[in-house]
Structure 1
Amino acid sequence: MAAVSLPLAALLPLLCGCVCVCACVRARACVRVQSCHATKPNLLNVHLVPHTHDDVGWLKTVDQYYYGDRNDIQHAGVQYILDSVVDQLLKNPDRRFIYVETAFFYRWWKRQSADVRRTVRRLVDEGRLEFVNGGWCMSDEATTHYSAVIDQMTMGLRFLNDTFGPCGRPRVAWHIDPFGHAREHASMFAQMGYDGFFFGRLDYQDRSRRRIAREQELLWRASDSLTPPMADLFTGILPNGYNPPEGFCWDQSCDDPPIRDDPDLEDYNVDDVVKRFLAIANTQAKVYKTNHIIMTMGSDFQYENANLWYKNLDKLIRYVNGRQANGSRVHALYSTPSCYLQELHRANLTWALKTDDFFPYADDAHDLWTGYFTSRPALKRYERISNGNLQTCNQLEILIKWPPYVVLPEKAMAVAQHHDAVSGTEKQHVADDYARRLAGGWLRCQVLVSNSLAALSGSTAERIYCDKLNVSVCPLTESSSKFSVNVYNPLARPVSWPVRLPVNGTSYKVSDAEGENKYSGDVVPLSAATRAVRRNRGFAVNELVFQARAPPLGFTTYSVSLLRDGPPAASTRRRTPTAGKPSRPSIYDCFLRVTFDPDTGLLSGLSNLETKQTIKLTQNFYWYNASDGNNSKSDQPSGAYIFRPNSSTPFVISRTAKTETVQEVRQWFSPWVSQVVRLHGDSRALELEWTVGPLPIDDDLGKEVITRLDSSIQTAEYFYTDSNGREILQRKKDFRPTWILRQSEPVAGNYYPINSRAFIKDEVDQLTVVTDRSQGGSSIQNGSLEIMLHRRLLYDDVRGVAEPLNETSALFPEGLVVRGRLLLSLDRPPTAADAHRPLAQQAVLGRWSPCLQFSGLQAALPPAVHLLTLTQWDEDSVLLRLEHQFQSRESKENSRPVTVNLQKLFSTLEILGASELNLSANQWKDEMKRFHWTPQTGM
């Protein structure tokens, strides 16, 4: 392709722009014949949707589910489901089937013969086999970050596009099992070109109201910033979750009787079956709006013997429709979600409008599914780190124009987005398998990183990856007197960030890439908490801390040389707490001052020295005693899914000691809770590094540990949380925007997912907390913000996992220890977003690898623009996603539209042409056509 002028590049009104920088070929149009069965306008049309729900790991690992292994845990074998379904579809052209999880289908497809592949392509072209959703997995919506969701959706949809063309492109998003639904997911689905979205779970009170109002099908306006209908998504709530109506399950795992239609036999039951079906259909029709209703005919890992299902469904359709001659007004047909959606669109009605989300989810008065927001916090953090690793590898592969030969960890990351993976709701051996896959992906990625840095720097020195710096373990820095440190910045703007390295010396020279010794490093003694949590994995007694500055989309190198060995200087020795008041009640830098109570040692105040703001701020740790199910109100215990404290007042964790080192305060709250409060140079944020565990269970009580910030900010019961790391939603205690809430769990019923940040504010002050993983949180008291850090539970919550959330490991047999970090910032509400959004991006993607300087950009991107994706697409093309990361009216300066010139963006890439795609990169933007829906409000 000849070079083209790109003055426009991208005008991004919060939309994620997806551009294929390549010489691109338009795909053929789908030539599918009319695949939807005819409906009858004057009858009630019952759309029967044969389907299976195949978890990409839950009670068994991904491999065990695919092969049908470990059936002593759960009888399930996905390969046999696909074998059986294809065989049965060929026996009757009326039959239909939908499939969702591309991770499993991809495995199955690779092992099929050419004849079978031709057969399946024909079934897809004819609409008899339809893909819905189409991502690598059916992702969780509460604990996933939007960037990882986009990646896993892109991977699955790309495989379907490459394999089946436009006829394999899903038109419907299908999240029948996730435990609550995020607004940002709906926004992403709309931008990916879906016509509609169906799910099965919503709060029992919300469902009751919607049934009465006939609002179980609605129009979801999923963005405050995108101009309608860009983020409008028709949304349907399925009548039975994702199961068949009661009495109509015909899988080998079901107990319902088959249709016995031989009139000469005594157990003939056709009349009874038809009567029950008509009653169910007519009852369901009363709570939906049109003369079309949908029934999901399938469930978890069903259709392994598809003949059972289809033989009975064939009979059901025949005998139900046969009653029309006697006046029945019900017409049953094989259907798919897209066929059903097509009929709803043809009805040309107006639909109720929704602008908030579907969190939290409860299936009964005391059964709030808000515990999984925090369950398995170590896995949640590892998934977030792995996402940063993957983006780094993708970028370096492009910047050095390396032949794409390394298998990157995309599949491991995609599987980790599953709603029983990063959610923390799987069995322990399955969680271990997810972590093993992520670790294997990073090992493969290291090969590419090493080769990339060698090519860019011209250095062939061996590179060591220090993956345990969170517990100050790195054999190279602990034993060497001279070494260099590579710092890579995956963001498209320059970043300054503290580097902490375990060392044994007491004085070091730190030089930058130009050899200038202008980056002074502090040596601080290793904390007792770190020594305890690292066990026998390292031997450093100190940490070297220096502020590193890295160019946008690039790396820099620091040389470190030992100057003095021996015992630590007196000024850096650990100080023993005295009985009186501490000698220094505050720490401060150029931007922040943090004060501590002289009696308790607790944080007592926070000041922004630039804006001259000061608030009272107390921070402490607490734990909720988890319900064991022995309660007069309900027998529901806390578990992997459910959060149910047995009291609305948490226990205070006792305070024992406080020490000070450089610009940090080390606090001990109990033998199993400690914290370091730090200020780092020009970061403009206060760091709280917490270490929690092993949670004691000697008292036979499960514990759910939180940290709570109590401030002088006047919140009036309002607080704010992000949606999948993107837009911000307003929350209010004991309130739901779309129905009058009957609150029965005053703590768990006010918890929401926090993916990257939450804040409280009034007219003057805004306190923002940035998290390093997905966690649950709330504001139970005015002026407070609490975040759940760790959970250890002794009872199963009876939601299927059949295992208590009692995490141990070989290293920690007495219970898992978890370490994490919160960043606090204090700003004026009109400008706070300018500070906390970049902090959140840094926390998500900030990968610092422990070799001269390089930047992949000619200049940093504007503050409002984030480089979301830069990855190899094929041999001659690159997939680039740029996003405007500020909400409408969020920032006075940075919420305006921005123009980026792509031709002047990269330092190593020559752009010959560009074409714009939708968000998931499976359709050209100008060819993306979606159904138009009309809200009842006329908006």
Structure 2
Amino acid sequence: MAAGCCARVPGLLLQLLLAAAAAALCAGAGAQDGRCDYYELCPATQPSMLNVHLLPHTHDDVGWLKTVDQYYYGARDNIQRAGVQYILDSVVSALLADESRRFIYVEIAFFSYWWKQQTAQMQQDVRRLVCQGRLQFANGGWVMNDEATTYYAAIIDQMTLGLNFLKDTFGDCGRPRVAWHIDPFGHSREQASLFAQMGFDGYFFGRLDYQDKNKRKIQKEMEQVWRASANLQPPQADLFTGVLPNGYNPPSNLCWDVLCSDYPVVDDPDSPEYNAEMLVNYFLNISTIQAQYYRTNHIVMTMGSDFHYENANMWFKNMDKLIQMVNAQQSKGSLINVLYSTPACYLWQLNKANLTWTVKQDDFFPYADGPHQFWTGYFTSRPALKRYERLSHKFLQVCNQLEVLAGPLALTGPYGQGSSAHLRQAMAVAQHHDAVTGTSKQHVADDYARQLAAGWEKCQVLVSNALASLRGSKEDFVFCNQLNISVCPLTQTASHFQAVLYNPLAWGITWTVRLPVKDWAYHVRSPSGQTVPSEVIDVLSEGSENFRPELIFPASAPPLGFSIYSVTRLPSKTPKFRDCCSTSGAQRFSQSLVIQNEHLRVTFDPNTGLLQEIENLDRGLRLPVSQAFYWYNASSGDFMHPQVSGAYIFRPAQTKPFLLRHWANTRLVKKALVQEVHQNFTAWCSQVVRLYPGQRHVELEWTVGPVPVGDDWGKEIISRFDTQLKTNGRFYTDSNGREILERRRNYRPTWDLNQTEPVAGNYYPINSRIYITDGQIQLTVLTDRSQGGSSLRDGSLELMVHRRLLLDDNRGVGEALLEPGDWPGTGLVVRGRHLLLLDTVEAAAAGHRLQAQREALAPHLVLAPMGQGTPYSPGTPALTQFSGLRRELPPAVHLLTLAHWGPDTVLLRLEHIFEREEGSMFNLSQPVTLDLQDLFSAFTISHLEETTLSADQPLSKATRLQWRTSTGGGPAPVQPAPALDPSAVTLQPMEIRTFLASVTWSKDRHR
């Protein structure tokens, strides 16, 4: 539901009370000692027959054609007939009417809101249905998240939110055993790994490439074990995975919803509409055919679809008849048994078959549902929303951390009532597979942004309260959320102000602060009062009538802490912005065009102004690299296929993109604190290539839009890097920001690809980085949001940065991807950054991953007018620097989560960010042991309880179904968890460990 609709995570005491109540209610209904004998609640099957498991379900998008609230309440039926509140009302009533019926529900964002509106009696009835296993939850996340454009930490957060709601409400019987991603458009390996670490027994999905599915059906590999990590010891990230036979829809002719037009079951032989015998024969036939593609005597049929069961009686009444009639044929020799079931009950039967299953180790990208129909456009669609979502993830971590470090004063302080819950829920909604993907209608995308903005407002109050408490002084804190377009009223008007740099990483960080200002001379002081070097540059071209100065100064912040810098404007007369030189039109530099620091030297072609070469001075590497912007003309259909390019589908009209321009108007800026080359390609495409002192990467800040479409061509804009590296058709992409996967052009690891789209069919999701290598040299590009990318020829990389399209691609959204800008009809302008890194393969393995982590959680800037603070304790100076850690963590260890969980309980996640053999040059891929007991300055850990990744069950009690695999060996024996010592916690490569930490608060944590 919308961001403000749902209560925040209860305190620990309330959680225990709720869990105890749920356990008591379930006693005698399959639950013992608070544990739920989940699989023992499953219906009986017939071992000697083909058992057909009917899975009654509804798929309720948390926003798509309508907003979240419109879907819940059933508003705007002129757009789509859908009302989730009525679905849940109707389903519960139908389940209470007949004990044989079963149902699964998935989207907790909707369910939690419905639950709050129910009477005590209805809540008790629903709890009984859950305890009896007749209403089961699948997946259990706040939403069914996308898998291509989502960052792993945001996935974990949204799953944690949903699963802990179920735990608090229903106890162990409410915990889903099965992951259920029936609608996302392709599936990532990291997603499966995360699901396994959350304790799921299996994973079912509906969408995979049509060629892959055909091959699997023939070879009976529709179900197998997914080995979802190359680093974690099997079976830690092994997950049984099944492909559903009909996507997530019912078989043809068997859809009995108000949204369907199939014939109902007419079982009166005297009726002229009688069709029972025909339907029974039809059902027996399709069951037999489907069974040919699966290995056991159990198959499933998904009985439901998008927003089905608003009148659940229609579905169940017809299924009741079908079950009775089909099973009646057993007396005539039929060997088919049909029953109401759930995904978990079906999975249980597969596990009991004790077969040996094949193993999959790659992923399911890209996804195509037919020739020329690759769903790779959404990797980039709505790039501004994708960036806002990534920024919101970072700010949520800032909010969570400060809530812990400052305590109750962060929630109720001098700035009012703060909250992290609103942004947590809005971020969870944003992970939905029609939200961050950019595949919703425009008014729905606007609503996703509205929910995030409302969450930001509540978190900004919390952050202000926390900073005042930790600093010991109340300030008029200001949040400048438009710094990306050089707008901040405070810094552009004030003569004195403070810049508070908060660092959410567990390592100290150095950062260059850039602020729009009014004048050209400023004095900056560090937290200790020392003068900090600073400069002002004009970000517009020299001689422009629009004077746009920005103040630049280097700053640093301790781990999990803040530093406060003081800025004072100095008296000045006339700005002197003769930074260096510029070109326009056909004019070109006669001298070399170079920017350089102590680590890198970047050369540009003096004739074109384009990037020409990068040198890594530390390694003695020199690589010719050209970079330019191109555009694909979006297909409007052709003689081969009518498919067009749209919000989901990427289909260029031709394989070779158009070069936007082979030269750029160029301006060179050389200062002590920054060197930049400003490239202006067209009125709607420009770029600044930048180096700061000490920086080991080249920063390319691009601005694209409004993309012109007056020529009736939809356009898909790429930034392309070309080198002479011999890459043998291979390139490498991250999986949701974590493990790296090798990609090969026109190739799939487990099936023979008939490539019909040589561009779109080679595009993959890039969440944080893509790189190419010849085995010696590695060129990496880091992204600031999710984008589509590829290497379409050896030595080349490309990333799609923007799309503006004129046609709908016929995947349901019913709108062209034609985003408006600030003024109607102008189109969206997007600004973003690519970081370009060149190194040896050995050094890149460490440095590039560390830099990606720094980018994901870059420092957050808060401002305040200087001299207007009110000390909490007169005579006690306010702090100008603070760290939440007594010592920074080793470079291989990332503090993934620090969040409030209860009055004296903290949710703590730590991860080893390196893969095995990665970073071996610097010994970073070794196990790391930490002392957590006195690590934090705000509290001391007195007790640790380790949990599954989603924090909804103790790891010591977590068990998963085990599976025999073709790689050898049977189920691994369950090993008792070793005693947990807070002073010696070890992390293996790529391991995430999750803890509920009981803490004792430091007496001096509040000023």
TM-score, normalising length: structure 1: 0.95
Tell me, in whole angstroms, the C-alpha distance in 2 between the residues paired with 1:152 and 1:282: 39
> Are the counterparts in 1 of residues 419 and 461 from structure 2 also a CA contact under 8 Å?
no
Deviates most, 900-909 or 272-281: 900-909
Partner of 1:522: 535
**1:214 partner amino acid:** K
Tell me, in whole angstroms, the C-alpha distance in 2 between the residues paired with 1:183 and 1:570: 51
Partner of 1:761: 773
Tell me, in whole angstroms, the C-alpha distance in 2 between the residues paired with 1:558 and 1:398: 24
Task: Pick one of 25, 34, 39 that aligns with 1:29.
Answer: 34
Tell me, in whole angstroms, the C-alpha distance in 1 between the residues paired with 2:59 and 2:590: 60
Task: Pick one of 577, 587, 605 that aligns with 2:595.
Answer: 587
Partner of 1:682: 694
Task: Pick one of 934, 952, 968 that aligns with 1:922.
Answer: 952
Tell me, in whole angstroms, the C-alpha distance in 1 between the residues paired with 2:577 and 2:383: 38
**2:237 partner amino acid:** A
Equivalent positions of 1:586-665 (< 5 A) are: 586-629=594-637, 631-654=638-661, 655-662=663-670, 663-665=675-677
Tell me, in whole angstroms, the C-alpha distance in 2 between the residues paired with 1:934 and 1:531: 70
Deviates most, 48-57 or 578-587: 578-587
For residues 230-271 of structure 1, the C-alpha deviation after alignment (integer angstroms, 9 at most, x for no partner) is 000000000000000000000001000100011221221110
Tell me, in whole angstroms, the C-alpha distance in 2 between the residues paired with 1:24 and 1:106: 15
Task: Pick one of 240, 248, 260 that aligns with 2:254.
Answer: 248
For residues 698-743 of structure 1, the C-alpha deviation after alignment (integer angstroms, 9 at most, x for no partner) is 1001000000000122211110000000111010101100001111
Unaligned runs of 5+ in 1: 1-19, 533-538
> Are the counterparts in 2 of residues 22 and 878 from structure 1 also a CA contact under 8 Å?
no
Partner of 2:762: 750
Partner of 1:878: 906
> Are the counterparts in 2 of residues 37 and 335 from structure 1 also a CA contact under 8 Å?
yes
Structure 1 position 350 matched with structure 2 position 363 = no
Tell me, in whole angstroms, the C-alpha distance in 2 between the residues paired with 1:570 and 1:411: 46
Tell me, in whole angstroms, the C-alpha distance in 1 between the residues paired with 2:164 and 2:543: 44
- 1:480 and 1:360, CA in 2 relative to 1: closer, same or farther beyond 3 A? same
Deviates most, 807-816 or 882-891: 807-816
> Are the counterparts in 1 of residues 193 and 237 from structure 2 also a CA contact under 8 Å?
yes
For residues 563-600 of structure 1, the C-alpha deviation after alignment (integer angstroms, 9 at most, x for no partner) is 24343215337734472425341100011110001111
For residues 763-785 of structure 1, the C-alpha deviation after alignment (integer angstroms, 9 at most, x for no partner) is 22111111000000000010011
Structure 1 position 426 matched with structure 2 position 440 = yes
Partner of 1:551: 558
Partner of 2:886: 858
Tell me, in whole angstroms, the C-alpha distance in 2 between the residues paired with 1:373 and 1:543: 33
Tell me, in whole angstroms, the C-alpha distance in 2 between the residues paired with 1:576 and 1:766: 32
For residues 512-567 of structure 1, the C-alpha deviation after alignment (integer angstroms, 9 at most, x for no partner) is 000001x21121102269999xxxxxx86201111211111001011111224343
> Are the counterparts in 1 of residues 597 and 695 from structure 2 also a CA contact under 8 Å?
no
The count of residues paired between Structure 1 and Structure 2 equals 912
Tell me, in whole angstroms, the C-alpha distance in 2 between the residues paired with 1:31 and 1:483: 58
Measure how far apart 1:839 and its partner are. Answer: 1.4
Partner of 1:485: 499
Deviates most, 163-172 or 901-910: 901-910
Other structure's SS at 1:834 match? helix
Partner of 1:148: 154
> Are the counterparts in 2 of residues 23 and 913 from structure 1 also a CA contact under 8 Å?
no
Other structure's SS at 1:902 match? coil
> Are the counterparts in 2 of residues 22 and 915 from structure 1 also a CA contact under 8 Å?
no
Other structure's SS at 1:174 match? strand
Measure how far apart 1:452 and its partner are. Answer: 1.0
Tell me, in whole angstroms, the C-alpha distance in 2 between the residues paired with 1:369 and 1:823: 26
Partner of 2:724: 712
Tell me, in whole angstroms, the C-alpha distance in 1 between the residues paired with 2:912 and 2:13: 22
Task: Pick one of 944, 966, 972 that aligns with 1:936.
Answer: 966
Measure how far apart 1:31 and its partner are. Answer: 4.6
Q: How big is the alpha-carbon RMSD for the aligned residues of Structure 1 and Structure 2?
A: 1.8
Task: Pick one of 497, 504, 508 that aligns with 2:518.
Answer: 504
Structure 1 position 293 matched with structure 2 position 299 = yes
- 1:392 and 1:260, CA in 2 relative to 1: closer, same or farther beyond 3 A? same
Tell me, in whole angstroms, the C-alpha distance in 1 between the residues paired with 2:692 and 2:268: 80
> Are the counterparts in 1 of residues 419 and 462 from structure 2 also a CA contact under 8 Å?
no
> Are the counterparts in 2 of residues 552 and 855 from structure 1 also a CA contact under 8 Å?
yes
Partner of 1:200: 206
Structure 1 position 849 matched with structure 2 position 861 = yes
Tell me, in whole angstroms, the C-alpha distance in 2 between the residues paired with 1:212 and 1:528: 63
Structure 1 position 771 matched with structure 2 position 776 = no
- 1:244 and 1:24, CA in 2 relative to 1: closer, same or farther beyond 3 A? closer
> Are the counterparts in 2 of residues 471 and 530 from structure 1 also a CA contact under 8 Å?
no
Deviates most, 757-766 or 336-345: 757-766
State the identity as a percent: 57
Tell me, in whole angstroms, the C-alpha distance in 2 between the residues paired with 1:527 and 1:541: 6
**2:917 partner amino acid:** R
> Are the counterparts in 1 of residues 538 and 547 from structure 2 also a CA contact under 8 Å?
no
Deviates most, 901-910 or 102-111: 901-910
Measure how far apart 1:926 and its partner are. Answer: 1.0
**1:659 partner amino acid:** R
Tell me, in whole angstroms, the C-alpha distance in 2 between the residues paired with 1:773 and 1:599: 32
TM-score, normalising length: structure 2: 0.89
Other structure's SS at 1:911 match? strand
For residues 194-250 of structure 1, the C-alpha deviation after alignment (integer angstroms, 9 at most, x for no partner) is 000000000001001000000000100000100000000000000000000000000
Equivalent positions of 1:197-596 (< 5 A) are: 197-402=203-408, 404=411, 406-408=418-420, 409-517=423-531, 519-527=532-540, 541-572=548-579, 575-577=582-584, 579-596=587-604
- 1:464 and 1:94, CA in 2 relative to 1: closer, same or farther beyond 3 A? same
Unaligned runs of 5+ in 2: 1-10, 21-32, 413-417, 863-878, 970-1007
Tell me, in whole angstroms, the C-alpha distance in 1 between the residues paired with 2:284 and 2:821: 54
> Are the counterparts in 2 of residues 32 and 125 from structure 1 also a CA contact under 8 Å?
no
Q: Which has the higher contact order (CA 8 A, sep 6+)?
A: 1
Partner of 1:11: none
Tell me, in whole angstroms, the C-alpha distance in 1 between the residues paired with 2:688 and 2:286: 60
Structure 1 position 890 matched with structure 2 position 918 = yes
Other structure's SS at 2:323 match? helix
Task: Pick one of 175, 183, 186 that aligns with 1:177.
Answer: 183
Partner of 1:901: 931
Partner of 1:161: 167
> Are the counterparts in 2 of residues 379 and 435 from structure 1 also a CA contact under 8 Å?
yes
- 1:528 and 1:374, CA in 2 relative to 1: closer, same or farther beyond 3 A? farther
Structure 1 position 782 matched with structure 2 position 794 = yes
- 1:317 and 1:794, CA in 2 relative to 1: closer, same or farther beyond 3 A? same
- 1:258 and 1:457, CA in 2 relative to 1: closer, same or farther beyond 3 A? same
**1:634 partner amino acid:** H
Partner of 1:14: none
Tell me, in whole angstroms, the C-alpha distance in 1 between the residues paired with 2:530 and 2:404: 30
Tell me, in whole angstroms, the C-alpha distance in 2 between the residues paired with 1:762 and 1:896: 26
Equivalent positions of 1:716-755 (< 5 A) are: 716-755=728-767
Measure how far apart 1:911 and its partner are. Answer: 1.3
